[in-house]
Amino acid sequence: MDKVPDSASAPGSTSDRVLDGLARLCLIVAGVLLVFLIFSFGWLVFGRYVLNDTPTWIEQSSLLIVVYITCLGAAAGVRFNSHLSIDFLREGAPRVPRAIMHAIADGFVILFGAFMAWQGGLMVMNNAGRPIPMIGLSESWRAAPLVVCGVLLVIFTGANLIKRWFSNPRAGS
């Protein structure tokens, strides 16, 4: 069964509902792309072995789609706190060290997301004139999900940090 997001278990603020909706939209888009990926590979196998005419565009489009699925899923995972983690040390720690460990982890994710968005943005700008072989789209389409994912990581982690910090000001966790 799917894990229910922490923010969906209790009535939240408008910002929580908006961010949860944005994360769900990421999952919906990733799911639709995954279905398209499955059908395109079915077409690849059919074309190669039945028609003896391999569709050449599928490999490049699949590589592009996998990047979108991965980045959108990663961003949603940060929002819903559903990434695989080993947190028994942190959760077993007293209140103050636990809050510090949460803040350090969130800080690293925010820095990583900002760096990913910045570097992805540079890649988008630098590759705008180069086409992807076989499909003709700009190479910038390969880097665009890095920008989107990086921005979403910063937004989702920042919102989770603020929510955790202000949900129990005494505990800070």
Q: Residues 115-160: pLDDT tens digits? A: 999 999 999 999 999 999 889 899 999 999 999 999 999 999 999 8
Average pLDDT of 63-81?
95
Q: Name residue, tokens 């959108």.
A: 72
What pLDDT score was predicted for residue 67?
A: 96
pLDDT at 173: 43
Largest CA distance in the chain: 68
- Above 50 in pLDDT, residue 5? no
Tens digits of per-residue pLDDT, 92-120? 889 899 888 889 999 999 999 999 999 99
Identify the residue with better confidence: 105 or 173: 105
SS3 152: helix
CB 150 within 8 A of CB 114: yes
pLDDT value at position 168? 62
Query: Cα–Cα distance between 158 and 61 in angstroms, integer?
Result: 33
Residue whose tokens read 């890649």: 123
Q: What is the pLDDT of residue 169?
A: 52
170: left (phi over 0), alpha (psi -120 to 50) or beta: alpha
* pLDDT 10s digits, 14-52: 989 999 999 999 999 999 999 999 999 999 999 989 998
- In this predicted structure, the answer to whether residue 10 has a pLDDT above a threshold of 80 is no
Given pLDDT bands bounded at 50, 70 and 90, which one contains residue 170? low
Overall average pLDDT of the 4-16 stretch: 60
What's the token pair of residue 159?
């919102």
Question: Residue 131: beta bridge partners?
Answer: 138
Kindly indicate the confidence band of residue 166, based on its pLDDT and cuts at 50, 70 and 90.
confident
Give the chain's mean pLDDT: 88
**Exposure of 24 by Cβ count < 10 A (0-12 exposed, 13-18 middle, 19+ buried)?**
middle
For the cut 50, the answer to whether the pLDDT of residue 86 exceeds it is yes
19 contacts: CB under 8 Å, gap ≥ 6: 7, 79, 155, 156, 159
What whole-number distance in Å separates Cα of residue 171 and Cα of residue 137? 50
